[in-house]
Amino acid sequence: MESATTALVWFDQARQALMQAKSFDEVKEIRDKAEALRLYTKQAGDGLEMQNWCAEIKLRAERRAGELLAEQVSPGNPLFSHPERISLDDLGIDHNQSHRWQAIARLPAPKFEEHIATIKAAGRELTSAGVFRESKRHELAATADTPPFPTTAYRCLVIDPPWPVEKIIREVRTVQSWALDYATMTLQEIEALPIPTLAEPDGCHVYLWVTHHFLPAGLRLFEAWGIRYQCQMTWVKNVGITPFSWMYDTEHVLFGRMGHLDLLQNGLRLSFSAAVQGHSVKPDVFYERVREASPGPRLEMFARAPHEGFQAWGAEAVNLS
């Protein structure tokens, strides 16, 4: 790069391009360009500041790529009625990259931003390995802090279980499938959650987040928990990934009832549109819709952020302020 000004202009343009990218290929192209420029600035002796500008774009692109990868599940699960597969070769990445990028995506946004700011302020080199290690430290701490189940009965339960997915995809030549490196639950463990005892006997609304592939399992869980299925909510995202044929740009919530409890407001829309903000981060509009429809007290199970009007429960909820 010719100057710090030129580098800063490129940095701003690259961040804009990354925010607007809507496919894995676009994100990966930005990542690869950033890495090439990082290596160039390092070889040219342009200084650590310029290297870190490029590294930051690279890291942000890897985080976004990890979010897109994390939306996919292994086709080996017997619940799938139409198994589909895609090779990592098709995406132009290897197993190690898939593993690390998904781990980076799981690091909560505040922790991710804090890590970048801390490393840059200390005059150290930004690296993917550094963010990966930070993600693993965070996950280990969260797993160790899982709290006991609440003893209160609730009129509204929001559940976003860690489905037993084997992220993402398989490496056709060398790796057939692999388990996630963070805590998931088997379908039997999810079914064993004390949902019936957490629900107010006189009436409770239940919202269960499901992936496309685990939607049938979600319906079976409703039956096991004694929940009457009523309808399905749909989150229309601003981006998606095209692993097989359709673009997966929606996510769904099963709605059901235990006992008898009317909605606070009739006529609310089942669909809502919102931008993706991070791996497994649910949009604010969903919580607004739930507050409009369902009375308190409300419990969010496996919560990843605090939300007004909801008690948070789960490993990540322990350290929520």
Contact 180, 70 (CB under 8 A): no
Q: How confident is the model at residue 279 (pLDDT cuts 50, 70, 90)?
A: low
- Which residue in this structure is represented by tokens 């919102």? 274
| Two tokens, residue 70 | 């994390």
From 75, 100, 63, select the one nearest 170 (Cα to Cα). Answer: 75
Question: What span, in angstroms and rounded, lies between the C-alpha atoms of 277 and 181?
Answer: 22
Q: pLDDT by residue (tens digit) across 198-221? A: 999 899 999 999 988 899 999 999
Q: How confident is the model at residue 20 (pLDDT cuts 50, 70, 90)?
A: confident
Q: Which residues pair with 204 in a beta bridge?
A: 258
Q: In whole numbers, what is the pLDDT of the chain averaged over residues?
A: 81
pLDDT mean over 145-161: 88
| Residue 140, pLDDT score | 61
Domains and CATH numbers, the chain: 4-143 (no CATH), 154-313 (3.40.50.150)
Residues near 265 by beta carbon (within 8 Å), at least 6 away in sequence: 292, 293
Strand partners, 299: 157, 311
- Helix-then-strand count for the chain, H and E: 11, 7
Cβ-based neighbour number of residue 44 at 10 Å: 11
Asked if residue 85 lies in contact with residue 154, where contact means CB atoms within 8 angstroms, the answer is no
pLDDT of residue 192: 85
Give the strand order in the sheet containing 271-274.
Answer: 271-274, 228-241, 248-259, 203-210, 156-159, 298-301, 311-313
Strand-pair partners of 139: none
Per-residue pLDDT at 73: 41
The predicted pLDDT at position 251 comes to 92
Reduced 3-state DSSP string for 306-320: CCCCCEEECCCCCCC
**CB atoms closer than 10 angstroms to residue 116:** 19
- Give pLDDT, residue 231: 97
Residue 295 predicted with pLDDT over 60: yes
- CA dihedral 241→243→247→251, nearest 10 degrees, is -70
Alpha carbon 264 to chain centroid, angstroms = 30
Confidence check: pLDDT of 235 > 90 = yes
| Cα angle 68, 65, 173; round to 5 | 85
pLDDT at 42 over 50: yes
How far is the C-alpha of 24 from the C-alpha of 252, rounded, in Å? 21
Question: Any idea which residue has 């600035």 for tokens?
Answer: 41
Of 216-220, 276-280, 290-294, the poorest mean pLDDT is in 276-280
Q: Quick one: average pLDDT of 177-190?
A: 61
**Contact present, 234 and 189 (Cβ < 8 Å):** no
The two beta strands, 156-159 and 228-241, are unpaired
At residue 243 the predicted structure's pLDDT band, cuts being 50, 70 and 90, is low
Q: Report residue 109: phi and psi, to 5°.
A: -50, -45
Contact 202, 259 (CB under 8 A): yes
Q: Would you tell me the crossing angle of helices 4-20 and 48-70 to the nearest 10 degrees?
A: 10
Per-residue pLDDT reduced to its tens digit, 45-96 = 878 888 888 899 999 999 988 888 876 643 333 322 333 445 677 778 887 7
- Asked whether the predicted pLDDT for residue 103 surpasses 50, the reply is yes
For residue 286, the model assigns a pLDDT of 96
Higher pLDDT, 175 or 211: 211
Residue 261 clears pLDDT 90, i.e. is over it = yes
Give pLDDT, residue 317: 60
Q: Which pair of tokens denotes residue 86?
A: 């895609």
